[in-house]
Structure formats: structure tokens, C-alpha cells
Amino acid sequence: MVEPSESELPVTSPSENPVQQSKPQAQAKSLVANAGPEGEFTGTGRRKEAVARVRMTPGTGTITVNARAYEEYFPREALRLAIRSPLLLTHQLGKYNVSVNVIGGGITGQAGAIRLGIARALAQIDEAHRVSLRGAGFLTRDPRMKERKKYGLKGARKRFQWTKR
């Protein structure tokens, strides 16, 4: 097979060449490189049966959970503190608006899922946050789940009442 010489190849500019466009440019990692559309950072958190999808955008620091203020959604202050704790640790409280969609589980499981999602989004914003978040245990998913029911038993471990006769 005869290969075409350079003079026979069509001349294209680098902006027209699709092969060169698909190669990523070597550049320093910045906030813009990690950001999604409109400077948005995302993180998914899970705890028990709850799943939280977290979106963080630069803003005034409002936190909304399922289109409601988080103070209204979580009645207990301990749960609110759990949600704010990754932001407090990294000194980012008031710098990002946090929007959360959470489904499943109870309110404690949902608060834990939101905490993990926020921590993952903060680690995406700046890799320097990852060390402090990991040290505080915010990037570790809590593996405890409800144990499944076994056949021949009333629940996961409870047995039916034994009768002598």
C-alpha cells in the first residue's frame, strides 16, 4: 500500500483537527477544572437507606434540602450541626450555596448522607480540604446497614417462640 506524501494530505488548521481537539490541555488543577456547569460541584452521599445528591455553587451560604430550608427540614440541632460540620471544618460556611435532593431512610440517615455528599463536594473543590476531611472521618461512608431477614427466623436474628410440646 502506498502512503500519501505530505503534499497530498489536506491542510487543516489545529482548530479544525478533531484529533487534537479531543486531547486535554495540560494545565494546573483549578476550581474551574473540577467544576461542572456554571461552577457547580457535586457529591453523592449514602447512609443506611438514604441517598443524597449534593450540588454546591458559589454564593451566600444557603442550604436547601428538597426545596426547603434545612432548618425547617431537620428539626433537631444535632442533625443540623452534622450537616454543617464539613463546611465548618474547611471554613467554607457562607461561601457556597448547597442544594440537596435526598431520598430514602429516616432523618438521621439522611443527615449522614448529606454530610458525606457535602464532604465529597468540598474535596472536589480543593484537594487541600481532603486531608482535613479524611482526618475527621467525613469522607468515610458508614457501612452499617440493616441486616437482612433469614428464612426460618422471625427477623434477622429473632427466632419464633420455642414450645416444649
3-state SS, residue 129: helix
Let me know if 98 is exposed, middle or buried by CB neighbors in 10 A (0-12, 13-18, 19+): buried
The CATH number given to whatever domain includes residue 128 is 3.30.230.10
Domain that holds residue 125: 32-136
**Measured distance CA(153)–CA(29) in Å, rounded:** 55
| 154 located within any domain | no
Average pLDDT of the residues in 118-124: 95
| 84 located within any domain | yes
39-82 confidence digits (pLDDT tens)? 889 999 999 999 999 999 999 999 999 999 999 999 999 999 99
| 4 located within any domain | no
Average pLDDT of the residues in 97-117: 96
Residue 27's pLDDT band (boundaries 50, 70, 90)?
very low
Average pLDDT of the residues in 19-25: 47
**Measured distance CA(161)–CA(76) in Å, rounded:** 39
- C-alpha cell read off for 90: 474547611
- The model carries a pTM of 0.75
Of the spans 2-6, 36-40, 82-86, which averages the highest pLDDT? 82-86
Task: Note the pLDDT of residue 165.
Answer: 85
Report residue 41: phi and psi, to 5°: -115, 140
What residues are paired with 52 via a beta bridge?
45, 102
CA angle 131, 133, 136 (to 5 degrees): 110
| 94 located within any domain | yes
| 43 located within any domain | yes
| 82 located within any domain | yes
Average pLDDT of the residues in 90-99: 93
Average pLDDT of the residues in 134-160: 95
| 46 located within any domain | yes
**Measured distance CA(165)–CA(163) in Å, rounded:** 6
> What amino acid occupies position 47?
R
Residues 47 and 105: beta-carbon distance below 8 Å: yes
Task: Note the pLDDT of residue 12.
Answer: 53
Domain count for the chain: 1
| 104 located within any domain | yes
